[in-house]
Amino acid sequence: MKALTLTAYKEFYFGEAAVPQLGADEVLIKVAACGICGSDVHGMDGSTGRRLPPIIMGHEAAGTVVEVGPEAGSWVVGQRVTFDSTLYCGECAFCREGQVNLCEDRRVLGVSCPDYRQHGAFAEYVAVPGRVVIPIPEGLSFEQACFVEPTAVALHAVHRAQVSPGQTGLVIGAGIIGLLTIQALKAAGCRKVYASDLSEARLQLALELGADEVFPANSTVNLPEEMLRRTGGQGVDVAMEAVGIRATVAAAIACVRKGGRVGLIGNLSPHIEFPLQSVVTREISLFGSCASAGEYPRALEEIAAGRIRVEPLTSAVRPLAEGAEWFQRLYEAKEDLIKVILQP
């Protein structure tokens, strides 16, 4: 089969690769479309340690079932499907509680680290366990279905934020996850959702996707002051941080009201300093949110119903053969590309 393989850091080979061996509990999927994730772009230079070459990356995919292992469940050849990028074991204590993102034996598709190498979907075929496969609803394209993973990530984070209708929210960082989180907060009933980012183009997109007001992240804007002004001096109920550096985490904490909640989704910096005293004395709840746990079907429903819009996030849909070039463009980050989808 044809595949796009990361052969060395920042080097790709597009050409022949072995079709995955199908395990008894696995389904073989002919990939129709696969999105390039930020984690692939950050990983391709070796900086995250999670894309050790050689590896076929790609975990945001959709396609058609072509073969079903004897223990893979009742999947049917020809069925249009997508799948959870987290290959959970289904048996550990976390999996039994439905916290599959915390699985003790979690593998992520298209990732290679010292513990495992799991080839992904920048290829004509990919094999995944039947338990992570999800049917694509009627009327949803393969390209739309590719957004199920980042959408589920946003829904999971908003679920963890425990927002109630009528509350106010702030999203810091309007990349793909931030832009989906804005929409998920709105879908959860937030009365006002504010957003902040460095990029003017992304803020425009945030407005288009339902943000009520946006703020450029620059020295002329004091975000906590703006939030206080709009909330009667209190601060927003919930702030979602989708960057992961010291300044933005500190801003998120400063923008929430007493007793408010700060969701940490971004983690660009593995370690940061943060305003401990402000968190303690104002009883702020900080929570991490990683991947998703059961939000995939709802993510597909939200996209199908148009409550979460993904077309405006699609920057390009191109053949897999052009993959190396698009990875390079995303890596250079000179353009405002959001999601690039590759078709094998």
Distance, in Å, from the CA atom of 33 to the CA atom of 10, rounded to the nearest integer, reads 22
Specify the residue, 146 or 256, whose C-beta has the smaller distance to Zn ion. 146
Helix (H) or strand (E) holding 180: helix 176-187
Contacts of 293 (CB under 8 A, 6+ apart): 98, 99, 100, 101, 102, 156
List phi, psi (to 5°) of 164.
-110, 155
Cβ 93 to Zn ion, closest distance in Å? 8
Which residues in 160-219 contact Zn ion (CB under 5 A)? none
- Please report whether residue 95 would count as binding Zn ion according to CB under 5 A: yes
Per-residue x/- track, 142-161, Zn ion (CB under 5 A)? -------x------------
Short-list 101, 109, 103, 73, CA closest to 91: 103
Cβ 263 to Zn ion, closest distance in Å? 18
Contacts of 208 (CB under 8 A, 6+ apart): 312
Choose, by CB under 5 A, the member of 1, 92, 207, 337 that binds Zn ion: 92
Stretch that binds Zn ion, among 3-11, 82-90, 166-174, 269-277 (CB under 5 A): 82-90
- Please report whether residue 52 would count as binding Zn ion according to CB under 5 A: no
Specify the residue, 146 or 190, whose C-beta has the smaller distance to Zn ion. 146
- Please report whether residue 33 would count as binding Zn ion according to CB under 5 A: no
For the chain, the straight-line distance linking the first and the last C-alpha, in angstroms and rounded, comes to 10
Cβ 298 to Zn ion, closest distance in Å? 17
* Cα angle 56, 57, 60; round to 5: 135
Burial class of 19 by CB neighbour count within 10 A (0 to 12, 13 to 18, 19+): middle
Stretch that binds Zn ion, among 89-97, 217-225, 245-253, 276-284 (CB under 5 A): 89-97
Specify the residue, 92 or 207, whose C-beta has the smaller distance to Zn ion. 92
Q: Which residues bind Zn ion (CB under 5 A)?
A: 37, 88-89, 92, 95, 103, 149
